[in-house]
């Protein structure tokens, strides 16, 4: 479309913000909310473009921002989610309360990426450098599985974004108090001075669920990284609303059965052994080779034992991927969103 940059009007200031400017912006938003960012600078008496104001607010001035060193837990979460989602910093940020996508991105680029490289792990694929040796084995299934999970996570995040929007609209329609517009990812919302209680997230709960009617899309390669297209989930965008409806409307306990059934169907499709009754392990087992490893240890299935040889490498990475999968399989208690 070719829109000119928002700051190309003459006379607008760029560069670091002064404390006075911060104060003006903060005072204005606390009193009026940000409303339209485009018109905010003029109303707030700032010689800045709206975009600059929004960035300053979302990355620095917002009251719900935690600054300072990342904890070990946070580091692990970032690495795990990056393995799952790639450079989708905003998506990763939704799982790290009080951290901004910009902060996470910076931290990844300056610390974590280098650390992984030192460990011999490719920071893009999260594979160990000698992993290509195993590329012609069962790894492809594992990678495809992970890819599929990443696709679902993408869809889930889109679902949450949509629900947040709808929720917001609904509240507006219902003439509700402004605090309802404040959500965890406040950069995408109309923030209006919430109090402590109000800052509790009202984000809809969602789960990583699988619609029976949806085609399974398994791509050969794993984690989306380079793409700039945010709808590249290999899932038709028209299908996403259906998935959303399913995921959102079916958050009852009965879903567990459905999810597991569907999961098993899918595992059968890709010729994976499905967990038996009372031995539900699901994706985690698949990815980690647990079920195979278990067969190995019990000696009940010689064919599986032979196949397990190909998966030995995954035993080495078990903890790494297990951590990733724990994020998927469980609902993080410290996160407002759930898989």
Partner DNA sequence: AAGCTTGTCAACCGCCACCAC
Partner DNA sequence: CGTGGTGGCGGTTGACAAGCT
Residues of this chain that interact with DNA (CB under 7 A) are 1-3, 5, 7, 13-17, 35-39, 48, 50-52, 54-56, 58-60, 67, 87-91, 101-103, 105-107, 109-111, 114, 158, 165, 185, 187-189, 225-226, 228-231
The residue among 34 and 294 lying less far from DNA, judged by its C-beta, is 34
Q: Which is nearer to DNA, 59 or 322 (CB)?
A: 59
Question: 35 or 215, CB closer to DNA?
Answer: 35
Beta carbon of residue 94, minimum distance to DNA (angstroms, whole number): 8
CB of 202 to DNA, least distance (A): 16
CB of 191 to DNA, least distance (A): 9
Q: What's the min distance (Å) between Cβ of 15 and DNA?
A: 5
Question: 214: exposed, middle or buried (C-beta count within 10 Å: 0-12, 13-18, 19+)?
Answer: middle
Q: What are phi and psi of 114, to 5 degrees?
A: -65, -40
Minimum gap (Å) between residue 43 Cβ and DNA: 12
Contact 287, 142 (CB under 8 A): yes
Residue placing its CB nearer to DNA in the complex, 8 or 212: 8
Strand partners, 121: 128
Residue 114 Rama label (left phi>0; alpha psi -120 to 50; beta): alpha
Helices (H), 214-281: 240-249, 254-269
DSSP state of 233: S
240 vs 1: CA distance, rounded Å: 26
The continuous run of DSSP H or E covering 303 comes out as helix 302-308
Name which of 189 and 262 has its Cβ closer to DNA: 189
């Amino acid at each position: 479309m070719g829109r000119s940059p928002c700051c190309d009007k003459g006379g607008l200031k760029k560069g670091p913000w002064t404390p006075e400017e911060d104060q003006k912006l903060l005072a204005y938003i606390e009193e009026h909310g940000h409303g339209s960012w485009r018109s905010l600078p003029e109303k707030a008496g700032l010689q800045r473009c709206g975009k600059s104001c929004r960035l300053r607010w979302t990355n620095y001035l917002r009251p719900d921002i935690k600054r300072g060193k990342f904890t070990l837990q946070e580091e692990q979460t970032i690495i795990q989610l990056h393995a799952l989602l790639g450079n989708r910093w905003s998506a990763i940020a939704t799982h790290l309360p009080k951290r901004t996508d910009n902060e996470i991105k910076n931290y990844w680029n300056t610390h974590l990426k280098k650390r992984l490289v030192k460990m011999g792990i490719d920071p893009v694929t999260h594979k160990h450098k000698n992993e290509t040796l195993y590329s012609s084995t069962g790894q492809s299934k594992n990678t495809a599985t992970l890819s599929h999970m990443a696709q679902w996570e993408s869809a889930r995040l889109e679902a949450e974004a949509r629900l947040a929007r709808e929720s917001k609209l609904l509240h507006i329609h219902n003439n509700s108090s402004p605090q309802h517009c404040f959500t965890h990812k406040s950069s995408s919302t109309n923030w209006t001075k919430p109090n402590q209680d109000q800052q509790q997230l009202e984000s809809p709960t969602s789960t990583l669920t699988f619609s029976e009617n949806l085609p399974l899309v398994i791509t050969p390669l794993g984690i989306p990284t380079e793409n700039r297209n945010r709808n590249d989930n290999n899932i038709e965008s028209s299908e996403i609303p259906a998935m959303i409806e399913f995921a959102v409307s079916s958050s009852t306990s009965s879903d567990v059965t459905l999810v597991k059934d569907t999961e098993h169907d899918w595992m059968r499709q890709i010729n994976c052994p499905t967990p038996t009754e009372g031995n539900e392990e699901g994706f985690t087992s698949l990815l980690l080779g647990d079920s195979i490893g278990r067969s190995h240890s019990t000696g009940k299935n010689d064919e599986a034992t032979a196949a397990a040889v190909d998966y030995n490498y995954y035993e080495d990475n078990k903890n790494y991927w297990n951590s990733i999968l724990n994020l998927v399989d469980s609902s993080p208690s410290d996160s407002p969103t759930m898989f």
